[in-house]
A and B are shown apart, each in its own frame.
Chain A
Amino acid sequence: MSNTVSTAPKTEAAARTATAKGGQRDKALAWLTAPALFFFVAFAVVPLAGVLILSFASWDGIGAIGSAGLGNWFSVLADPGLYNALGLTFLIMIASWLVQTPISLLLGVFTAGSQRYRAALAVLYFLPLLLSSAAVAIAFKALLDPNFGLATGLGLPFLAQDWLGVPHLAVGLVIFVIAWQFVPFHTLIYQGGVRQIPKSLYEAAEIDGAGTIKQFFHITLPQLKYTIITSSTLMVVGSLTYFDLIFVLTGGGPGNSTRILALDMYLRGFRANLMGPASVIAVILVLIGLALALFLQRLGGKDKQGSQLEGM
């Protein structure tokens, strides 16, 4: 990668020490990566190659595998369903980021404080993190049932909407439930990030007369830059793989209104027996994921490459 050139001066010293001690240690350390590399190749590279091959094949998942040439690619790229799924995936991704980042950032800063009641509150906030997506989806589905749900139980008619049956409500609800489930996780990341910030910075700011809000914008937020990037990367790349929650909650419906890319892939492959087109979508998903991850890495700037990717 092009960045290796710019990081060269920083690692030069490290490299010099290493050569001084001889190449022996390098080799030994390289072999230490063998188990990780083995699993990576066996469970990521090999299946990926398989999916790539399948995207050019016609296969119903049961019979013989035949060649389809570029047929799958042409048919999927010409299918309006793909663009619906792509649009929804990006919509849910962006909306999730916009909803989750401010909430988890503020909650993270808040719970990083030391008062005892905060510890108790933090435990409450983290509860959704302990539940599996399927359980969350089933619970919300039961609570939101228009006839037997929470709204009728409590006599709150304004809540008795057909939440999962009207396309735009269903999309909004999916974004809400995803946020409910994942905000605790990102709060945890931000809490850790805030606790890493040296106390002396705040002490100095206080002497200079900066208030809490100024401290937040001038110390906390800049110091959390890499935490924000890490959390955003997880959020954005993770949103590509939201599957279980939406699968149980709406099954992609009503109509195609919550049929995101990962779900579209599953339904094509395992429901409709179209492994070829499903593999095309899998390849598209991988490409989008890689592009997004690289983009977010770049956002961190060269600084980040130097400090966090050292040793790669």
Chain B
Amino acid sequence: MKQPQTSRRSFLALAALAPFAAAVTSACGTSGPGASSGGGASMWYLSGEPNQTTMQKAVDAFSSANPDNKIAATYFQNDAYKTKIKTAIGAGQAPTIIYGWGGGTLKTYAEANQVEDLTSWFGENPDLKNKFFPAAFGAATVNGKIYAVPNQYVAPIVLFYNKELFEKAGAQPPKTWDDVMSLVKTFNDMGVAPFSLGGQSRWTSMMWLEYLLDRIGGAEVFTAIFEGKPNAWMDPAVIETGTKIQELVSADGFIKGFSSIAADSNADQALLFTGKAAMMLHGSWTYGAMKKGGQNFVQDGKLGFIPFPTISGGKGDPKNAVGNPAAYMSISSKATDKEKETAKKFLKDGILTDTVIDTYINSGSVPIVNGIEDKLDTSPDKDFLNFVYDLAKNAPNFQQSWDQALSPTAAEALLNNIDQLFLKSITPQQFAENMNATLGK
């Protein structure tokens, strides 16, 4: 075969030109998804029902009422969205309206000046500020300034149980931790898993730690962690929490194979409504999904719900709740003034309209707006809705889920360590030490 030799000089000439060409092509991508023509604004939101349809209807209604200020919505899957929005903001290509969960991630955005400070706008619109539950603003506030508009519904974590299985066992739902441990034995003897858990998702296991730490040590322990106080994770309450969890795991409290069950596929809910597990600690949002997917389990009144049990000797207020106070929407500071105006108008008039509020209530959720008691009372799901409403409203402290309250760096370390704690591959002491190393990160 005859192969001509390339001269070194021509090769180098090409190599020298290539970065120049690369620079030219990379300069082409200046108009990202965030840039929209005219006075419209772009918005990224989560796909999945019933929220996607509800939001699209709200967008359509707003856009037809404001033909010059349309909203263009794009929908993404939950986990994919979390990565995509971060990357887009980092690259300066964010949509006008940024959907999020507040807390630590919002703090990262605010400190990088990527989202608008809405404090003065809320000051000019007191009606808007008074429309929402006051508790909803906590996770929207960074260093005393409000960076996001609360929306959607309040979603505390509650203890669900299968009434049928409790009747069969002749047992009462647990009021204290001792009840929990004795029920574990009762149900294991019956051949039913005491608790369902989608442990592969890790945030599902985290919900247990949130409530246990709150009941054992009180709200102050996590507040100290959140504020990054030195050695905050080394509090004895953290170690006791870890010990209780490992006791529950050792007693076969969770369904066999829990660490390979993912919550995304709703397999953990299915375990509860198919009678394979007696109880499940989960967000109130699973009510709607079980109502839809669990044949007539919810409709026939077989689903029970109670607050998290108390722990004897614990310092925490048994009325405290944890979960998601709301979802949030921020405005990108990189958007044009016109886009920002449209976005503000939409956030003020377009979302949580009466229609949207009714849709949420019909799907078994409690919207975060004041003065909906009458509407909740007329719903077929009024028992559950009132339970959630009272739990959220009467809680002296409503702790936002840790993975959202903490910075993304600390949150990822937390989820990883919780996974290992549940697998018993680390001790409660090691858990506390590992987490202590993340303080201030």
Contact = CB atoms under 8 A, between A and B. Distances in A.
A107 B408 CA distance: 47
B412 interface: yes
A213 interface: no
A71 interface: no
Interface string A142-180: 101111100000000000001111110010000000000
A311 B2 CA distance: 8
A154 B199 CA distance: 25
Interface stretch (A29-37, A111-119, A292-300): A29-37
B5 interface: yes
A147 B108 contact: no
B260 A267 contact: no
B90 interface: yes
Nearest to B193: A147
Contact of B1 (A23, A30, A38, A310): A310
Contact of B11 (A17, A30, A64, A271): A30
A266 to B, nearest CB: 9
A17 B86 CA distance: 57
Interface stretch (B13-21, B145-153, B158-166): B13-21
A192 interface: no
Given A29-B6, A273-B86, A253 B259 contact: yes
A163 B260 contact: yes
Nearest to B258: A165
Interface stretch (B40-48, B133-141, B239-247, B415-423): B415-423
Contacts of B25: 42
Contacts of B258: 165
Contacts of A251: 200
Interface residues of A, number: 55
Contact of A15 (B5, B87, B111): B5
B260 A37 contact: no
A41 to B, nearest CB: 4
Contacts of B265: 142
Nearest to A273: B408
Interface string B75-118: 00000000100110110000000000000000011011010000
Contacts of A40: 18
Given A147-B271, A162-B257, A256-B416, A30 B7 contact: yes
A11 B4 CA distance: 9
Chain B CB count within 10 A is highest, among A33, A46, A61, for: A61
Nearest to B113: A63
Contacts of A147: 255-257, 261, 267, 271, 276
Given A148-B267, A163-B260, A165-B260, A255 B7 contact: no
B64 interface: no
B2 A14 contact: yes
Contacts of A165: 199-200, 257-261
A74 to B, nearest CB: 15
B407 interface: yes
A254 B198 CA distance: 12
Contact of A62 (B14, B89, B202, B411): B89
B261 A145 contact: yes
Nearest to A47: B22
Given A62-B108, A254-B259, A41 B87 contact: no
A303 B412 CA distance: 50
Given A254-B423, A272-B408, A30 B22 contact: no
Contacts of B224: none
Contacts of B15: 37, 41
Interface string A46-82: 1000000000000011111000000000000000000
A273 B5 contact: no
Given A14-B3, A162-B257, A267-B412, A38 B200 contact: no
What band does the interface of chain B fall in when counting residues whose beta carbon is under 8 Å from A?
35 or more
A279 B420 CA distance: 25
A116 to B, nearest CB: 37
B7 A26 contact: yes
A219 interface: no
Contacts of A41: 15, 18-19, 21-22
B7 to A, nearest CB: 6
Name the residue in A42, A62, A145 with the highest tally of chain B Cβ atoms < 10 Å from its Cβ.
A62
B406 to A, nearest CB: 11
Interface in B248-278: 255-262, 265, 267, 270-271, 276
B420 A256 contact: yes
A268 B5 CA distance: 45
B10 interface: yes
A259 B267 CA distance: 23
A18 B409 CA distance: 59
B14 A63 contact: no
Interface string A93-136: 00000000000000000000000000000000000000000000
A257 B416 CA distance: 11
B190 interface: no
A60 B108 contact: yes
Contacts of B200: 164-165, 250-251, 253-254
Q: Which of A38, A61, A273 has the most CB of B within 10 A?
A: A273
Given A17-B2, A164-B200, A23 B18 contact: no
Interface string A255-284: 110000000000110111110000000000
A135 B94 CA distance: 30
B2 A18 contact: yes
A244 B351 CA distance: 36
Contacts of A30: 6-7, 10-11, 14
Nearest to A164: B260
Contacts of A271: 83, 408, 412
Given A14-B1, A30-B11, A62-B86, A272 B259 contact: no
A26 B4 contact: yes
Given A271-B83, A271-B408, A311-B3, 16 more contacts: A26-B4, A29-B4, A33-B14, A37-B14, A37-B18, A62-B90, A62-B109, A63-B108, A63-B111, A145-B257, A165-B257, A256-B416, A256-B420, A271-B412, A273-B412, A274-B409
25 contacts: A18-B5, A30-B10, A38-B21, A41-B19, A42-B25, A45-B18, A46-B19, A60-B108, A62-B89, A62-B108, A144-B260, A145-B257, A147-B257, A147-B267, A148-B267, A148-B270, A162-B256, A165-B257, A254-B199, A254-B259, A254-B419, A255-B423, A256-B416, A271-B83, A272-B412
Interface of B: 1-7, 10-11, 14-15, 18-19, 21-22, 25, 83, 86-87, 89-90, 108-109, 111-112, 114, 199-200, 202, 255-262, 265, 267, 270-271, 276, 407-409, 411-413, 416, 419-420, 423, 425
